[in-house]
Amino acid sequence: MNHDTIAAISTGMTPSGIGIIRISGPDAFLVADRLYQSKNKKKKISEQPSHTVHYGYIVENVKILDEVLVSIF
């Protein structure tokens, strides 16, 4: 059984208005916490309940790269 943490593009390779990236594996929440910033800057993805969706940003250092919806399941 594979125990790697992976990130993969889940949308087709055609132009579209949204893109979906899936992160899965034992360190998925650690990765998401590093990249995600909630709108109020207080919410950690790893502390949110399953079957919820959260609006925020993908950030690198302090720079916002994009708006996101994160779905936890």
Instruction: Locate all alpha helices (DSSP H) within the chain, ordered by sequence.
Output: 28-35
Q: Which residues of the chain have pLDDT under 70?
A: 1
Local structure of 11: helix, strand or coil = coil
In the prediction, which pLDDT does 51 show? 96
Q: For residues 70 and 49, what is the distance between their CA atoms, to the nearest angstrom?
A: 12
Instruction: Provide the number of structural domains found in the chain.
Output: 1
pTM of the model: 0.82
pLDDT in tens, 15-29: 888 889 999 999 999
- 1, part of any domain: no
- 52, part of any domain: yes
Local structure of 51: helix, strand or coil = coil
- 33, part of any domain: yes
From the CB of residue 23, how many other CB atoms can be counted at a distance below 10 Å?
17
In the prediction, which pLDDT does 13 show? 86
Give, in order, the Cα–Cα distances in Å from 10 to each of 6, 14, 31: 12, 12, 17
Domain containing 53 equals: 6-72
- 35, part of any domain: yes
- 14, part of any domain: yes
